[in-house]
Amino acid sequence: MVNEVVYNELAAKFFEHYGIRHVVGAYAPGRAEVLGNHTDYNEGYVLSAAINLGTFFVAAPAADQSCRIVAGDLMEEESLELTSLAPSGTGSWSNYVRGVVAGLRAREEIPHGFLGMFFGNIPLGSGLSSSAALEVSTGLALAALYDIEVSRQCMARICQTAEHEYAGVKCGLLDQVTSLFGLEDRLVMTDFRTLEVSTVPLGTEYCLVICDTAVKHSLVESEYNDRRQTCRKAVDFFASVLDRPVIALRDVAWSEFESRRGEMEPVAAKRAAHVVSENERVVRGKQLLAGGEVEAFGKLMFESHQSSRTNFENSCPELDFLVDRAAGVPGVIGAKLCGGGFGGSIVALAHRRDADVIRQALASAYEKEFGHPCVTRAILPAAGAHIIEAMA
């Protein structure tokens, strides 16, 4: 079982706090977006990896309609009532749980409350999607507790809606889908128009090196939502000038973009340039990995970061420094920012045999440049979210 020590610690905390044992538990991994940055909500393609870091959620039934939720790291508790579900005005972590409960309740009646607790080892703010891991583990555990049957695609949408309506972030489905569909030593290829999911081999000799800048941009959510709105403006433009339906930027070919970019508002043109070219990189990347051409795939990662830096403008000096430095470290095959950007982490594709040397080289260079450490981790593509049998 993944992260057994973490799970056992959570089980002990649950028993100590509530005085009873949990009856169901679920695990959901974080994710690393490997290629396909900000393409998910543009109905495009993404190659991503569920990672060997994640979040556990355990629960037991309550005797009434009240629901108690504890964040196991801080031992902070919040409560909610099934009859009056609403976002917390404080914008707390409980909103992710509240939104998932609301989504399950909309599908089927929930007869009673629950006692819940979650705990994991995904660093907050690192760009590895601790929020989606919390949503998905909550959804799986509570669906099991209440015997609610939910497909994985439907669970992803429930969790996405929770983030939209309860946390206020208009995210795509990348984080939730990756967490649900990951496989060991493989990347998840997702078509975000059809939600068709497949996997492609990465190979057992490769790993991902995550470098966390610890930069937490104060305007991440507003910047993210702004990028979505600007992409929508670009879609409206192409829908008005192309003689066929354009529903999302996924429908625009690079040749069509280039022929029309001079007519576009400059910022919208830059955002569209990134998304349209990024979709083409993902499709090409899948072909390269299927053919075992990992080195060529790595070049696409560097191209992706350059596009994020100049066109989508969701990078920052710390991320740029790490990617630039990674390009010169032996054993690094490709590198780019990971996730929403504006801070957080980069992901580097590397040979496993070189991972420790790469981590040390990047951490040392970062501290010398910025005066504080950069947390680095070698992670592996891992299995997706699943129910864990409750301990006897």
What single DSSP character describes residue 382?
Answer: -
Helix H segments across the chain?
4-18, 94-107, 130-146, 152-162, 174-181, 220-241, 254-260, 266-290, 294-307, 317-326, 355-370
How many C-beta atoms surround the C-beta of residue 229 within 10 A? 12
How many C-beta atoms surround the C-beta of residue 102 within 10 A? 19
> Which residues are CB-contacts of 381 (< 8 A; sequence separation ≥ 6)?
49, 50, 51, 182, 183, 184, 185, 186, 187, 202, 208
Measured over all CA atoms, what is the biggest interatomic distance in the chain, rounded to whole angstroms? 67
Strands 114-120 and 24-35: unpaired
- The catalytic residue among 40, 175, 212, 251 is 175
> Which residues are CB-contacts of 70 (< 8 A; sequence separation ≥ 6)?
13, 14, 17, 76, 77, 116, 117, 118
Active site residue 73: no
How many C-beta atoms surround the C-beta of residue 230 within 10 A? 18
| Active site residue ranges | 175
